[in-house]
Structure 1
Amino acid sequence: MISRCLAHPFDECLEHLHLVLQRCKDTNLSLNWEKCHFMVQEGIVLGHQISAMGIEVDKAKIQVIEKLPPPTSVKGVRSFLGHAGFYRRFIKDFSKITKPLCTLLVKDVPYVFSEECLLAFNTLKEKLISAPVIIAPNWSLSFELMCDASYYVVGVVLGQRKDKIFHVIHYANKTLNDAQLNYATTEKELLAVVYAFDKFRSYLVGSKVELEHRAFWAVKKLYFDLKAAGEKRLLQVNEMDEFRLEAYENAKLYKERTKKWHDMHIQRRSFEVGQQVLLYNSRLKLFPG
């Protein structure tokens, strides 16, 4: 469990900490004392360096990866990609960089660690060493999605703009399968948008998202004409609409369950003659008892 009890005054920080611990006590949640850190400015949490600046990679883990020699077997390639993939959210175009290495993992492909593989291996290590600091999302600001598609990879970037400066929250990308490789450019770009909404749905639920994407608006402009838009692109737009409806349903269920939880904790009160109470009768009024 990660709890941020951040407050400028020390007394207020203690108050927030008390609320967090009380919530753990009320829910019978046990904490490992050895893994708990209090009143620190930064620390390692789940392999990430957490501080007021944002989220960074663990330098100790990166130093281990930096010293790794080029793999000499398929098992070594898989191990390296597993370690590097843990920090893929920090690396732009991760799938594009690792494409030559991933090819070595395909069944019945002879293991030949070519110059292209060596370049991908060294590039990935350099990207990890110089990984940027990723900010935590500010839920009071709007999100921005940047989507792009190449021949064999779709990539998306989720971020927010503060003082007209774009700050990255998460990088994500996906290698296309054999069927998707045959898509037209417009279809690949729309596929990137669908992938982005599916990947970042936890960030975008309940948020307003402005999307500047010619492929998407081109389909919207056709008023869902099946012959003009094409069945494949129409299905992709419908899939995006399903994400929107699912987000609405999840928000609705959350509100209902939250209301039910609060109603359970409302204490019944008994009133005596002469007391003034608030009654709801189409509008709020004061009625004498």
Structure 2
Amino acid sequence: MGWELSDLPGINPSICTHRILMEEEVKPIRQQQRRLNPTLLDVVKKEVTKLLAAGIIYPISNSQWVSLVHVVPKKSGMTVTKNQHDELVPTRIQNSWRVCINYKRLNQATRKDHFLLPFIDQVLEKLVGKSHYCFLDGYSSYMQIHIALEDQHKTTFTFPFGTFAYTRLPFGLCNAPGTFQRCMTNIFSDLLHD
């Protein structure tokens, strides 16, 4: 259990490790950084500092794969406001920012993992007639999963204060959902089969 990223050691790599396997004859893509306005640059700098302190990213200078940072509004909560016709309409509140990496080019070159995610109705059917069940919410779930050492350089991103790569699984990689589900299936295997 942890209260912040630096408290979390992650899932033991012997249980689950993320791989980034490439399609045949793919050439690495190194994207050039883009300018960020000062407000967003400060948001990225704070996030990078937090991830660096937690050991989730590390400085890197020699990666052939470099992706771009994006900052998008994080929507949280709803309010009611009047529109141009003086009608009350529900409106999402944007009060913070989410820093993410655009792995589109890397994902295009990545060999796809076809691990099937379960259908929610099938999961719920397994609960029928059970007297007990619980709900688990993993804190920064993807970032609990380590990336194989030989693949970490492929997660490299750049912004004006440096170039960094992930040691843990970031959001946005095409095979992340499959890796996460495979990991959860492995961890809870004794509970999944009656």
Structure holding more strand per residue: 2
Structure holding more helix per residue: 1
Normalising by structure 1, report the TM-score: 0.16
Q: Name the structure, 1 or 2, with higher relative contact order (CA <8 Å, separation 6+).
A: 2
